[in-house]
Amino acid sequence: MNTQEELQIAFEEYEKGSFIKHKKR
């Protein structure tokens, strides 16, 4: 469960592609 702040950060990382590299699901 992520807070809205964490979701915003995760979304930004997702747009950069870093999130995909960190977590491949």
The C-alpha atoms of residue 2 and residue 8 are separated, in whole angstroms, by 10
Mean pLDDT of 8-24: 72
Q: Is the pLDDT of residue 6 over 80?
A: yes
Mean pLDDT of 11-21: 72
Helices (H), the chain: 4-16, 18-22
**Model confidence pTM above 0.85:** no
* Per-residue confidence (pLDDT) for residue 4, from 0 to 100: 92
Mean pLDDT of 3-19: 81
Instruction: Enumerate the domain spans of the chain.
Output: 1-25
Mean pLDDT of 1-25: 74
